[in-house]
Amino acid sequence: MFTVLLLLGLTLTINMGFVAASDNQSVTTSNSSNSQVTVLSNSSSNTTSNSAAGSIDSSTTTTQTIKVLIYNGNYAATSCVKGLKTALDSANTNNLVPGYYFSYATSTVINSSTLSGYDVLAMPGGSGGYYYLQSGSISGTAIKNFVRNGGGYLGICAGAYAAAQYTQGYYNGWGLAPNVTCTHPDHEGDLTIQITSTGQQILNLSGTITVAHYNGPAMYVSGNAMVFATYADDIIRSNGMAAIVGDYYGEGRTVLSGPHPELDPQYPDIVSNLIVWAANLTADPTPTPEPDTDTVSLGQLSSTAATVKSYFEANKTLPSTVTINGNTVSMPQFLYLLATGTANISSNITSDITIKSVNSAPAPSGTYKSGNIQKSEYVQLAKDIITFINTNGRVPNYKQTTLGKISFSKLVYMYSKIINYYNTYSRLPNYVSMSA
């Protein structure tokens, strides 16, 4: 049996929200004609089964049936439950994923008992990831065991926040995506995402599409995590950051999505293909470079600088990588982009910056005193950093300034502050303040 855990979440806010389901417990079974018999019980779960309507005969030997358990208990939004059901119905009716048939059931409780016998657990959204983590109706231990032992997980919005390693400034998640960190954009409405070359292999889609978004995460990835789609506009100041990602936890696969493909405008093909990948029913995509996307605009650089600045201030360390315009960029590469962006802005150059290969500092170090570095100094320092990287193929361990030796990581932070200022005021600051 292939197993998958699908956790979908509509995050209206991170910590404030509503309760969208009752605590009544019932079990509903169904047959292929979609007739239902509901039996009230005092069991520990409320499960309602329903074969997803469609023209595919799930009994044929050439079709693999994937069973989906949808959470509809406390903190779940009715619209997301309905959206998931109609997406699966459409996937079956229109044979969107040839060779696969999707059936689903609903439950107000998620534990090892309710997970048993299902291939997919779907948890549609509502109040936020924090409420999922704290809910007595949802066993994080059972979910982690489920995925660790080969199950899959698809979290959308609140479900993504709950499953990530960490949400900046808020809380640690279940860690089902150990190489993914979430930031929290504040936006409700449609926006655009760009399908990456890796995503094209999973979703059978390409290009830029418009999707619904309700405060869902923009994500940093590292390690083995893959980016299936990135944010394609700057509505949430996250242009180029990851919108849909895939990661691994034990023997299982995890998918996190910031936007809502199950809502209007609905993409049943995205929902169903993500389920198939998370179920470990398809091979990993072959890594291929994103064509013609090895450049970064000043807008994309500015947005990423803002998130790196916030990350460093919250964690006192840099993220391992950032995703810009569909590219996974290391911190040494990011310093090159920041320095080049600073130098270009000072010279009124607004053209895109090419990402280049840059090695790490072999022995980063440095001490300095608190104070301000004036514009003329940090602009010249940026030019010196560019020259050093082009000459040595790596970032410096530190750079000497009027405040002392500023280490590599603090250089990244300093120029993130500078470019973030540019993002806000459309000009470089007169000086940048640095605390020892």
pLDDT band with cut points at 50, 70 and 90 for residue 56? very low
The CA distance from 382 to 380, in Å, is 5
- Note the Cα 145 to chain centre separation in Å: 22
SS (H, E, C) 95-156: CCCCCEEEEEEEECCECHHHHCCCCEEECCCECCHHHHHHCCCECHHHHHHHHHCCCEEEEE
The DSSP result for 228-248, as a single string, is EEEE-SSTTS-TTSEEEEEEE
The CA distance from 195 to 325, in Å, is 11
**Three-state secondary structure call for residue 432:** strand
For the stretch 166-219, pLDDT in tens is 888 888 898 998 888 888 888 999 999 999 999 999 999 999 999 999 999 998
Give backbone dihedrals phi and psi of 371, rounded to 5 degrees, phi first. 160, -165
**CB of 304 within 8 A of CB of 378?**
no
CA distance to 8, 48, 175, per residue, from 160 (Å)? 7, 24, 10
**CB of 28 within 8 A of CB of 49?**
yes
User: In the prediction, which pLDDT does 137 show?
Assistant: 93
For the stretch 63-118, pLDDT in tens is 898 888 888 888 888 898 899 999 999 999 999 999 999 989 888 899 999 888 88
pLDDT at 48 exceeding the cut of 50: yes
Among all chains, which residue has been given the structure tokens 């066993």?
139
pLDDT band with cut points at 50, 70 and 90 for residue 436? confident
Cβ-based neighbour number of residue 117 at 10 Å: 12
Eight-state DSSP code of residue 11: B
User: In the prediction, which pLDDT does 30 show?
Assistant: 34
Give me the amino acid identity at 135. Answer: S
pLDDT at 320 exceeding the cut of 60: yes
CA distance to 151, 156, 209, per residue, from 143 (Å)? 9, 15, 31
Give the helix/strand (H/E) hosting 71. Answer: strand 64-71
pTM score, two decimals? 0.63
Residue with more model confidence, 236 or 419 = 419
The CA distance from 143 to 146, in Å, is 5
CA dihedral 189, 192, 198, 201 (to 10 degrees): 90
pLDDT at 154 exceeding the cut of 80: yes
The CA distance from 410 to 275, in Å, is 41
Query: Is 64-279 CATH 3.30.70.270?
Result: no
Residue with more model confidence, 92 or 58 = 92
The CA distance from 338 to 373, in Å, is 16
Largest CA distance in the chain: 77
For the stretch 249-277, pLDDT in tens is 898 898 999 999 999 999 999 999 998 99
